Chains A and B, each alone.
Chain A
Amino acid sequence: MALLELERISAQYPGAADPVLADINLSLGPQQLLVALGPSGSGKTSLLNLIAGFVAPSAGRITLDGVPVQGPSAERGVVFQDDALLPWQDVLANVAFGLELAGVAREPRERKAREMLALVDLADFAARRVWQLSGGQKQRVGLARALAADPRVLLMDEPFGALDAFTREQMQELLLQVWQRTAKPVFLITHDIEEAVFLATDLVLLAPNPGQIVERLQLDFGQRYAAGESARAIKSDPRFIETREHVLARVFSQRSAAPRQGYA
Chain B
Amino acid sequence: MSSLDLPVVATPATSPPTPTRPRRSLSTRGISSLTLLGLLLVWWAVTAAEWVEPLFLPSPEAVLGKAWLLLTQGYMDATLWQHLGASLGRIGLALGAAVLTAIPVGIAIGYNRIARGILDPLIEFYRPIPPLAYLPLIVIWCGIGELSKVLLIYLAIFAPIAIATATGVRTVDPARVRAAQSLGASRWQLIRHVILPSALPDILTGVRIGLGVGWSTLVAAELIAATSGLGFMVQSAAQFLVTDVVVLGILVIALIAFALEMSLRALQRKLVPWHGQSH
Which of A's residues lie within 8 Å of B, judged by CB? 52-54, 71-74, 76-78, 80-88, 97-98, 100-102, 129-131, 138, 142, 145-146, 149, 155
Find out whether the CB atom of A52 lies under 8 angstroms from the CB atom of B197. no
Find out whether the CB atom of A84 lies under 8 angstroms from the CB atom of B185. no
How many residues in B have their beta carbons less than 8 Å from beta carbons of A? 23
**B31 at the binding interface (Cβ < 8 Å):** no
**B180 at the binding interface (Cβ < 8 Å):** yes
**B2 at the binding interface (Cβ < 8 Å):** no
Pick from B22-30, B51-59, B132-140, B171-179 the stretch touching chain A.
B171-179
**B194 at the binding interface (Cβ < 8 Å):** yes
Cα A89 to Cα B83 with chains together (Å): 43
Which of B's residues lie within 8 Å of A, judged by CB? 173, 175-176, 178-186, 189, 193-194, 197, 200, 272-274, 277-279
- Report if A84-B175 is in contact (Cβ < 8 Å); known contacts: A131-B278, A131-B279: yes
Chain B nearest CB from A69 CB (Å) reads 12
Cα A85 to Cα B184 with chains together (Å): 15
Candidate in A72, A73, A82 with the most chain B CB atoms within 10 angstroms: A72
Find out whether the CB atom of B182 lies under 8 angstroms from the CB atom of A102. no
Find out whether the CB atom of B178 lies under 8 angstroms from the CB atom of A72. yes
Find out whether the CB atom of A54 lies under 8 angstroms from the CB atom of B178. yes
- Closest 4 pairs (CB-CB, A-B): A74-B184, A87-B274, A98-B183, A72-B181
Find out whether the CB atom of B189 lies under 8 angstroms from the CB atom of A76. no
Cα A81 to Cα B194 with chains together (Å): 18
Residues of A within 8 A of B178 (CB): 52, 54, 72, 78, 80, 84
Chain B nearest CB from A246 CB (Å) reads 34
Find out whether the CB atom of B179 lies under 8 angstroms from the CB atom of A80. yes
Candidate in B179, B200, B273, B274 with the most chain A CB atoms within 10 angstroms: B179
